[in-house]
Amino acid sequence: MILLDGKKTSADIKEEIAFEVRELKDRGKKTPHLAAIIVGHDGASITYVNAKVKACERVGFESTLIRLPEETSEEDLLNEIAILNVDNDIDGFIVQLPLPKHIDEQKILMAVAPHKDVDGFHPTNVGKMALNLPTFISATPFGILELLNRYDVETSGKHVVVLGRSHIVGSPMSILLSQKRKIGNATVTMCHSRTQNLKEITLQADIIVAAIGIPEFLKASMVKDNVTVIDVGITRVGDSSKKSGYRLLGDVAFEEVSKKAAYITPVPGGVGPMTIAMLLKNTLLACERNNE
């Protein structure tokens, strides 16, 4: 069994990006600049955004963090987005999700200019991704492709089963892995809460992408030998033996499934770190487009 180490791989990618940033600066070009808007006080979101800011510092990016109170109106948030859309110093920006309940997330994501949408959530970018045109691929699917690529996991002609159909992971993964690309050319089955005979389907899979948000859902009895497993899930479960009071579990029962797997991602330390690395990669791409 080979561990698909997202922590190490993301560190390698950040080194590569830092090298490219130094080259840009040496040539007198603009330094990449990523901005993030966070509304409210969601603990996980604050931790995640702070990690993004730290990652920007590590690779030599400029970064701007805009903190807005929980009671910020939808109109005020749209105004902030409009300002960032026309600020030539900002190459790309993200609006950290989830947003407070009184704000329409879809309306907010639609307001982000597609050429600055480094999260890859705008319908224009999703459409381009579906048509296999150059665009921003959302960071988690992009990170999974990169992880499979760097570990030379063969996808061509393989049967991939994607568990989950979210717009952020499940749906784009099913499209990307079926496309004519280096990490692609797979036959993809997308499963969800209405899928019948799920175990029969997962037992046929050469590669499983688990993204349903149910801790340890995928058991050893559901996978065949030498399967490749990508665990996208991350759930906090109470654990009084831990200093933090909780532990993190993925969608895969790691201990038992890893005994049958050829490749598997850990949780934490698998897909999560890759997401931030690919967000930086998208920002670098946006900056290079602006430099042209």
What CATH number was assigned to the domain covering residues 28-112? 3.40.50.10860
Fold match between domain 28-112 and domain 139-272: yes
pLDDT of residue 264: 98
Q: Domain 139-272, what fold?
A: Rossmann fold (3.40.50)
Tokens matching residue 23: 């080259």
For the chain, give every domain's residue range: 28-112, 139-272
Helix or strand run (H / E) with residue 84: helix 74-86
How much is the pLDDT for 171? 97
The pLDDT of residue 28 is 92
Active site residues: 52, 96, 119
CA distance 218 to 210: 8
Task: State the angle between helix axes of 43-59 and 6-26 in degrees (0 to 180), rounded to the nearest 10.
Answer: 50
| 169-220 per-position pLDDT tens digit | 999 999 999 999 999 999 999 999 999 999 999 999 999 999 999 999 999 9
Show the low-confidence residues of the chain (pLDDT under 50): none
Q: What pLDDT does 266 receive?
A: 97
Kindly report the pTM of this predicted structure: 0.94
Q: What angle do CA 286, 289, 176 make, to 5 degrees?
A: 60
Question: What pLDDT is attached to residue 48?
Answer: 85
Task: Dig out the tokens for 131 from the structure.
Answer: 């048509």
Estimate to the nearest angstrom the gap between the alpha carbon of 139 and the chain centroid.
4
